[in-house]
Amino acid sequence: MKKRIFSGIQPSGNLHLGNYLGAVKNWVALQKEYDSIFCIVDLHAITVPQNPEELRRNTLELAKTYIASGIDTQSATIFVQSQVSEHAELGWILNTLTKMPELDKMTQFKDKSQEHRENINAGLFDYPVLMAADILLYDTNVVPVGEDQLQHVELARTLARRFNHQFRETFTVPEAFIVKEGMRIMGLDDPAKKMSKSASSELNYIALTDSPEKIREKVRRAVTDSGKSIRYADDKPAIRNLINIYALLDNAKPEDIEQSYKGKGYAEFKNDLAEVIVDFLGNFQAKYNDINDKDVLDILETGRGKGKSLAAKKMEDVREKVGFLQ
Ligand code: AMP
Ligand code: TRP
């Protein structure tokens, strides 16, 4: 039996290179070896205000993004979280096993409640419990995510153990999967902060939908470190970040990139990096534009069926253990 991976992204707008390199690229690499489930987590997305029509559009577009990135729709399951109601149900049950201080310390909650001061809702606070439900419903072994999600995967592990202890063995205890170079892609305008779609400046990120001109401009204007040499080092956070992006897209080692730019300047390095990104995203966008809505809807319908049958079976076991009348 293959082990299982499960991961998800919120359909809340354009993805950027950080999402791709931190998460989706690893999904593509792992999908042959693992039984793979990739979710579009729209229940998570509504923890911040969404326009309903845009949310529906973004959900379809995120499915296309998964497919254009190389997720194999024959072998992997792609589905929309809200279409499998067991996620919300298990989330509720896990709520009753979660302590307030466990949620209080979550970095993402602290950040997002700073960002959305006018709407610090209970869902935002409870977000990691729903994420634990996503993961545990499918007996997930491995969760490929960026570094910012580690704390949440840790909670999923805690809740699995706690439930198993209280109600007997039920859930697999999952592990996070992280690739060092991609785990935290930093902002191009500020290498001290992670690349983020909610950044105040467009120069922070490269969206997967950016045009070649935009990509070249953003790379040219990316901040660099003092000094002139292209070094992969902790005291050169801006260049290190650019080398990481280059290495991951070019399937090379950061040290080899560093070596090949010995004695060369920032301008040449940036020109080459921009072309690597333009090439990569050109391919991605061509595939993306080739996928039609009808095919995506069919894929999601198949995914819903598979997700639902696994989740329903798990929930029968959970309801029995908790003591609900069946
Ligand atoms: P989000 O867009 O926050 O829903 O994130 C979707 C996935 O992308 C998660 O696995 C994140 O950990 C990952 N991710 C988001 N931003 C970055 C980043 N700057 N570097 C690496 N991974 C990221
Ligand atoms: N919380 C994740 C993020 O913000 C998205 C997510 C929801 C997720 N459920 C998940 C990731 C389950 C992995 C597994 O990026």
User: For 127-165, how does the pLDDT look when each residue is reduced to its tens digit (9 = 90+)?
Assistant: 999 999 999 999 999 999 999 999 999 999 999 999 999
Residue to mutate, 41, 148, 150, 193, ligand 1, most ligand atoms under 8 Å from C-beta? 148
Give yes or no for residue 148 CB within 6 A of ligand 1.
yes
One DSSP character per residue, 44-104 reads: HHTTS---HHHHHHHHHHHHHHHHHTT--TTTSEEEEGGGSTHHHHHHHHHHTT--HHHHH
List where CATH 1.10.240.10 sits in the chain. 202-288
Residue to mutate, 94, 145, 171, ligand 2, most ligand atoms under 8 Å from C-beta? 145
Q: Whole-angstrom Cα distance, residue 115 to residue 250?
A: 35
C-alpha of residue 118 to centroid of ligand 2, in Å? 23
Residue 190: pLDDT over 90: yes
Q: What is the pLDDT of residues 104-121, one digit of tens each?
A: 999 999 998 888 888 899
Assigned token pair, 95: 């709520």
Residue type, 138: Y
Give yes or no for residue 9 CB within 6 A of ligand 1.
yes
pLDDT for 180: 87
Q: Which residues are annotated as catalytic?
A: 112, 194, 197
Residue to mutate, 90, 142, 149, ligand 2, most ligand atoms under 8 Å from C-beta? 149
User: Structurally, what CATH architecture does the domain formed by 4-178+292-322 represent?
Assistant: 3-Layer(aba) Sandwich (3.40)
Mean pLDDT of 245-267: 95
The pTM score is: 0.95
Name the residue at shortest CA distance from atom 11 of ligand 1: 146
DSSP assignment letter at 121: -
Q: What is the pLDDT of residues 284-310, one digit of tens each?
A: 999 999 999 999 999 999 999 999 999
Residue 259: pLDDT over 90: yes
Pocket of ligand 2 (CB under 6 A): 6-10, 41, 44, 131, 134-135, 143, 145, 149, 152
List where CATH 3.40.50.620 sits in the chain. 4-178+292-322
Mean pLDDT across the chain: 96
pLDDT for 94: 98
pLDDT for 197: 83
Q: What is the pLDDT of residues 83-107, one digit of tens each?
A: 999 999 999 999 999 999 999 999 9
C-alpha of residue 63 to centroid of ligand 1, in Å? 16
pLDDT for 116: 84
Name the residue at shortest CA distance from atom 2 of ligand 2: 9
From residue 113, alpha-carbon distances to 116, 119, 219, 307 in Å are 5, 8, 31, 31
User: Structurally, what CATH architecture does the domain formed by 202-288 represent?
Assistant: Orthogonal Bundle (1.10)
Give yes or no for residue 143 CB within 6 A of ligand 1.
no
Work out the pLDDT band at 199, boundaries 50, 70, 90: confident
DSSP assignment letter at 16: B
pLDDT for 326: 86
